[in-house]
């Protein structure tokens, strides 16, 4: 079995109690929820689909899972 690491992000418009308020933030800290899942929040607009980039909160996450390819 191989270990697969999946990372991703999405955006929502609004405010976050957890995101850094520094407008120049380009790094973030992930909070470990379980051994295989972490999540973090920052104000950012990396690769957003929103036209207006004001008040965007970026949610970053990563997860680790096992992956087995069966022979047929």
DSSP string, 58-72: EEEEEEEEEE-PPP-
Joined tokens for residue 45: 């607009």
Task: Report the pLDDT value the prediction gives residue 15, as an integer from 0 to 100.
Answer: 74
Asked if 6 and 50 count as a contact pair (C-beta separation under 8 A), the reply is no
The pTM of this model reads 0.66
Task: Report the pLDDT value the prediction gives residue 27, as an integer from 0 to 100.
Answer: 59
32: pLDDT confidence band, cut at 50, 70 and 90?
Answer: very high
Asked if 41 and 57 count as a contact pair (C-beta separation under 8 A), the reply is yes
Q: In this prediction, what percent of the chain has a pLDDT beyond 90? A: 14
**Nearest Cα residue to 41 out of 9, 67, 72, 69:** 9
């Amino acid at each position: 079995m191989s270990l697969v690491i999946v990372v991703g992000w999405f955006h929502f418009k609004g405010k976050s109690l957890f995101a850094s308020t520094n407008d120049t933030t380009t790094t973030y800290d992930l909070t470990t929820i379980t051994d295989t899942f972490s999540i973090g929040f920052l104000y950012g607009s990396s690769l957003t689909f929103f036209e207006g980039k004001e008040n965007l909160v970026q949610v970053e996450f990563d997860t680790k899972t096992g992956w087995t390819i069966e022979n047929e």
